[in-house]
Structure formats: C-alpha cells, structure tokens
Amino acid sequence: MDTFTFTSHSVRPGQKDHGFVEIEIRGIIVKLPVYLINGAEEGPTLVVTAGIHGGEYPCVEAATRLGQSIDPTKLKGRMLIVPSANPIAFKARSIYVTPVDGLNLNRQFPGDPEGTFTRAWAAWLFRNVISRGDLYIDMHGGDMIEALVPFVSFNLTGNEAVDRTARRMAEAYGIRAMLVKRDTGGLAGTTYAAAARDGIPALLTEAGGQGVWNEDEVDILQSGVRRVMTEFEMYEPVDDPGETAVELGGWEWLRSAHEGLFYPSVSVGDHVTEGQFVGRVADIFGETLQEAHAPVSGEVLFLVTSLAINDDDPLMAIAYS
Ligand SMILES: [Zn+2]
C-alpha cells in the first residue's frame, strides 16, 4: 500500500486526514473541505462528493458523517470524500446555481478551465477529485424549493464493464427508485455522466429537499454509500440491506411556460394517471396562465414547492415504470 495524496495532503496506509484545500479559480479562492482515508489493505478508490448544489443539505451531512466514521484500519481501498463540493454556493445558500456567474455546476462537467468560474471549477473538480475514483458517488437531494422521492440514477455509456459496475452500485445502495439513463451524446453536463463517459462507474443519489435535513434522509444517503462499500468488499457489512431497487422506465419533466405563481394539485410520491390535472401556473392576480397535466401515468418523483415560479423552471417530474 502506498501513501494516498491529494494536493498538499497525504496519508499513510491505515490512516486518515481531513482539512481544507485552497484553490484559486479565476481569481476566486475556493476553500474545499476534504476527507482523505487510506485503507490498511488494497482495494478500489471510492470518491464521494456532496453539495454540488449549495442548498441540498442531507447529502452534505451524510458525507461529513462518512468522513468522520470510516475507520481506515478496517478499510480495503481508499476514500476521497468532499462534503461540500461547491462551497461558494453552500455559503450563499444558493438554489440551482453558483452565484458568481449564475451557472448550474451540474450542467458544466467535464468543465472548461478557460471558462467562467463555474465551468473552470467543474474542470478542476473533474480532474482532481472525480477522476481519482475507481468508483464515484455524487450525492444530491431536492434543492431548497424541491421535494422528492429518494432515487438513484446512472448513465449507460455502452462500455459494458462500466455500465455493469454502475448498476451494481445502484442496486446495492438500498433506494427503491432507480432511474437508468442512456448517454445521448453532447455535453455530459452532470458529474456522473462525465465520469461514466470517462470510464468511471458513477452513481447519482438523491434524498431530502426543501432546504431542510433530517436523520432519516442523512441515513438513507450515508447507509447507501456503506452498502456500496460492502458490495465491493471495501468495508464491514451493513446490517440493513435497505430497499430493493426497482428500475423505472424513465421520467417526464413538466416545466413552467410563464413567470408567476405555482399551485400544484399533487404531492411528491403521488401516483398520477396520464392526462390528470397536476397543477397550474397563475399570475400574481390569480389569473391562470397554464394548466399542467400528467404526460404519462406514474409517480411524482420531484415537485417544486415554492409559490414563486420562473419561465422555464421545472414544475415536477413524473417517473413511469
Ligand atoms: Zn443537486
């Protein structure tokens, strides 16, 4: 076993360390918190990120607890955990975007070092964090204005070994709703799509939302990572296997065509039938601007919960079997 290094930090086998790494990106200093855990025995390197979106809290807490609790003397392999991967957005309590340039970090991967801050930050994270993994898990949740049903997702790339491993990770995680997407080309955009395209089996996991966090959601995310570690023989087994994954057929997003007020008539987790009225967008005087109907029968997987809605904002996603 070798020393595990990350920028200026390094840890010997059977040890761990944590601290901030300071990186200057387009003239802005990012203080990135990291846990570096070097196992006592050989095994895969698992990279875990949380907080790519600054207002998603259960994932941040779950990553912090993983970093605190993993015992390096029992670990086979290595872990690089970044509990707040977009610290500027976290500090700003920003929804969807990084305030510096108004871009959604999870639409920029694999990034561009010559781009504006968020694109350059994506490039740094991709090169220095995500690419270090043999396995990669990116934890999210509903944003501050979203409620959601916990789900896991991965992209099919056509690389059979990568796709098979990603499916193993998804099925091990212990969350029921499993969304399998096909890489359709173009900009990868998301962390896990870019990683998978680069040959790293990668998983997106989501729990919690609406700007709050609770123990159940933290546990779903934290236990899921532990179950993946068990699956790949990196760590001692978790007693509770969690939920059995059920592959969804896909999902359809509904979007607002107006700026105004959003009145959903369904709740997150509800089952709806095709054509069912699911909500309306009105102007500030109460006049209906748009009626939304379910394009498919299925489950409301996420739902925007703010009264305020902007033109082209998502309203909800309906997952079908
Ligand atoms: Zn997110």
Q: What is the pLDDT of residue 183?
A: 86
pTM of whole model > 0.95?
yes
The CB density around residue 183, as the number of other CB atoms within 10 Å, is: 15
pLDDT of 65 > 80? The answer is: yes
pLDDT of 1 > 80? The answer is: no
CA 314 / ligand 1 centre spacing (Å): 13
Average per-residue pLDDT for the chain: 97
CA 40 / ligand 1 centre spacing (Å): 33
pLDDT of 255 > 80? The answer is: yes
| Angle, alpha carbons 10-200-5 (nearest 5°) | 5
CA 141 / ligand 1 centre spacing (Å): 6
DSSP, res 100: T
CA 78 / ligand 1 centre spacing (Å): 25
Tens digits of residue pLDDT in 157-167: 999 999 999 99
CA 140 / ligand 1 centre spacing (Å): 4
Q: What is the rounded distance in angstroms from the CA atom of residue 246 to the CA atom of residue 32?
A: 35
| Angle, alpha carbons 60-62-63 (nearest 5°) | 65
Q: What is the pLDDT of residue 288?
A: 98
CA 277 / ligand 1 centre spacing (Å): 27
Q: What is the pLDDT of residue 145?
A: 96
CA 14 / ligand 1 centre spacing (Å): 32
Residues whose CB is less than 8 angstroms from the CB of residue 102 and which lie 6 or more positions away in sequence, other chains included: none
CA 182 / ligand 1 centre spacing (Å): 19
Q: What percentage of the chain reaches a pLDDT higher than 90?
A: 97
> 215-231 and 160-173 are packed helices; what angle lies between their axes, rounded to 10 degrees?
140
Does 250-320 carry CATH code 2.40.50.100?
Answer: yes
Sorted by where each begins, the domain ranges of the chain are 4-247, 250-320
Antiparallel, parallel or unpaired: β 202-206 and 177-182: unpaired
CA 206 / ligand 1 centre spacing (Å): 8
Q: 4-247: what fold?
A: Aminopeptidase (3.40.630)
